[in-house]
Every structure is written in C-alpha cells, then in structure tokens.
Amino acid sequence: MQNENYNQTPEDVSEEEMVYEPEVKRDYLIPASILISSVILAGAWIYTTGLKAQTQQKTSIASSQDKAAPVSELENKVLPSQGIELPVVWGDLGAKLVSTGVIDVDKFKAIYEQRGAFTDEYKNLLLGESNGKLKMTSANSGYLLNLLWALGLANKNPILDTGEMVNPAYGGAGNFASTGGWTIAKGSPMNHYSQHKFFNLTAEQQALVDKVSRGIYRPCCGNSTHFPDCNHGMAMLGILELMASQGVSEQDMWKTALAVNSHWFPNNYLTIATYMKAKGVDWKDVNPQEMLGINYSSSRGYANIASQVTQPQQSGGSSGSGCGADAGAPVQQQSQQPGCGI
C-alpha cells in the first residue's frame, strides 16, 4: 500500500507529522556521528601509538649505542684491545698441575662449562703439553688468574715456607683466602702448599723474585706479593717465579706485573692512569715499579688516588676478578674494588 502522505505538501502535513521527519533524520545521523568519532579516536590512537613506538625505538637504539660505546684512548693504553703477550712459555704446566692434583680437572672444568665458556684455548692451557707464550686479554684474564693461582700455591718456594704466610700470629698458612679458598684441588689445598717443584730457581733468580714480590701491591688489600694471602697475590707470585725461571729481566718483570695487575683490577688502574694523565704523564711513560708500589696499588694508596679524580669505568662492563676459585665470571660493572672474600 502506498504511503498516504507521499503527495502531500508541507502545508498539508500536520504539525505532529512535521516533527516526526526530522527525528527520523537525526536517527540516521547518530550512527554516522558515532562512526566519525570512532575514526577520529582511532586516528588519535594510531598517532599516539606510533609516537610511542618511535620513542621506544629511539630509546632502544640509544641504549644499543651506549652499549657499543667505543673504547677510550686511555683504556686502550691500559688494557690494549688486542691483549698483551706475557714473556713466558706455558708449555705443559697446566697438565702438570692436573697430574699432581693441584687442580681437580673435573671441578675446574665444571666452573667454566656451567657458563658455557670452556673454550679450546682453555682446554689447551689446562691439558695441553706444548703451549707457547701466554697471551692475556680482558676475556681470559680470570682464567689465567686461576691457573697462576694454582702455580703460585703449589710451587716450592722459600717465600711460602718462611715468609709472612707462616707467621704464627696468623694461625697458620691454611687460614688465608689464597689457601683455604682454593677449593678445586684433589684433597686439601694445604697438601699442595709449596709442595711441588715445577721448575728450579737459581739463588740469583730467587733473590729477584723476593725483591720484586716485595714491591708489588694489589688494590684489594694492603699486602705485597711477598705476603700472598689472596688469589691475586698468589697468582702474581706464580708468574714472578715463572718469569724468573725463564730468564726475564727485572725491568720486564715490573712491566709485565703492571700489565697483569691492570687486567685483574681494570677500573683501579684506569683510575690511576687518569690521575697520572692529569699530572701530565702518559700511561706508556709511567714507572711500573712506582705504579705497583704501596702509594698507588695498595688499598690505602689507591683510595688516596681515587679521591682526587673522577673514576672512569671499563667499557666492557667488568670490574675485575673476584677472589674466589670461580673468579672471572661475567659480572655487571661495579664501582667498588674487588674484595678478598671467597
């Protein structure tokens, strides 16, 4: 049936009917307005989300750039990116440390296998019989620390037999971090303390080890290498003995000891290098014996130096080696000095 109002003019339509038609039009406009509002809101959401994504992307890029920050010129002088070659041949010393039980190979390997870090290099140094000269890098300095710790602990030497380590006032040599902390030997670590002759030193060579060891300090404590009560001291004693046995000169012993200590305490020696630079002395021109002495490298001496400069941080994110048998684990960068706890 046709609509009765189809041919009516506005004048023929009642007031009530005239009101009805605009209401119908508004009913059609309401969904349209909702649709338009939705489009506007959606556009705003897309825009703000896009801004947020861009901001997050920029933040992520900035963070990545921070992590990939280039190594400073000073750091590359203290810790060369290519590492340092030590003037000693390692040979089969790792295998000898294993065969004598100073190192329990299963315990030792487990430390690094748990980190997925027991590389072919590490295996050869531990078990190989024809290793060449040692090369220390920021990556392997903790591993070499442990090998040299074992060597210093076990090799027969008068410094261990008659020096500060056996002073009755300390209750016996087995009460130190460098002895009791060596938990990866077969049997008690004291069964190996100064018990094995991996090489013989002449009287002149022993006198050189004694002299240099008295002048090398470490930032984790106030003792010299002649009193190797922590792993760093015992490891330094080990490399001094090894250098002396292979005819390394006193000058090169001081130079090597500074490079090694710098890898074991990177932030400390970057701070010392910063201090020397402020005094107008380039790191390559410093006197290694002076830098290793009590006024710079002991805990008190270093604290005095650090109080006078803004302390830089190693770009790689490591604060250096700890004093336990698992030293060298990847750690977040810290500003404090490595301690001598287990």
In a domain, 323, yes or no: no
In a domain, 109, yes or no: yes
229 and 122 housed in the same domain: yes
Residue 67 binned pLDDT confidence (cut-offs 50, 70, 90)? very low
Residues in Cβ contact with 276 at an 8 Å cutoff, skipping those fewer than 6 apart:
282, 283, 286, 291
User: Per DSSP, what are the bridge partners of residue 224?
Assistant: 217
Last residue of a domain, one of 15, 33, 49: 49
Tell me 79's DSSP state: S
Per-residue pLDDT averaged across 85-98, rounded?
98
236 and 120 housed in the same domain: yes
At 245-281, the pLDDT tens digits run: 999 999 999 999 999 999 999 999 999 999 999 999 9
Burial of 284: CB neighbours in 10 Å, binned 0-12, 13-18, 19+: exposed
In a domain, 113, yes or no: yes
Highest mean pLDDT out of 56-70, 176-190, 328-342: 176-190
Q: How many domains does the chain have?
A: 2
1 and 136 housed in the same domain: no
User: Per DSSP, what are the bridge partners of residue 91?
Assistant: 131
Per-residue pLDDT averaged across 282-305, rounded?
98
83 and 43 housed in the same domain: no
Residues in Cβ contact with 106 at an 8 Å cutoff, skipping those fewer than 6 apart:
none
pLDDT on residue 341: 34
| Residue 58 vs residue 212, higher pLDDT | 212
Phi, psi of 91 (to 5 degrees): 55, -125
pLDDT on residue 325: 65
28 and 87 housed in the same domain: no
In a domain, 286, yes or no: yes
Kindly report the pTM of this predicted structure. Answer: 0.76
174 and 102 housed in the same domain: yes
Identify the CA nearest to 45 among candidates 53, 56, 55: 53
Ramachandran quadrant class, 316 (left: phi over 0; alpha: psi -120 to 50; beta: rest): alpha
Identify the CA nearest to 214 among candidates 204, 225, 203: 225
Per-residue pLDDT averaged across 172-189, rounded?
96
99 and 36 housed in the same domain: no
| Residue 314 vs residue 238, higher pLDDT | 238
**SS3 category, 85:** strand
113 and 241 housed in the same domain: yes
Residue 332 binned pLDDT confidence (cut-offs 50, 70, 90)? very low
173 and 44 housed in the same domain: no
In a domain, 316, yes or no: no
Burial of 329: CB neighbours in 10 Å, binned 0-12, 13-18, 19+: middle
180 and 90 housed in the same domain: yes
pLDDT on residue 272: 98
Residue 83 binned pLDDT confidence (cut-offs 50, 70, 90)? very high
170 and 208 housed in the same domain: yes
pLDDT on residue 217: 98
pLDDT on residue 8: 34
In a domain, 148, yes or no: yes
**SS3 category, 99:** helix
Spatial distance between the Cα atoms of 201 and 226, rounded to a whole number of angstroms = 16
Determine the structural domain holding residue 213 and report its residue range: 74-306
pLDDT on residue 311: 83
Residue 152 binned pLDDT confidence (cut-offs 50, 70, 90)? very high
In a domain, 290, yes or no: yes
**SS3 category, 103:** coil
Q: The dihedral of CA 146, 151, 152, 154: what is its sign?
A: positive
The mean pLDDT of the chain is 80
Spatial distance between the Cα atoms of 43 and 136, rounded to a whole number of angstroms = 58
In a domain, 58, yes or no: no
Phi, psi of 157 (to 5 degrees): -155, 140
130 and 241 housed in the same domain: yes
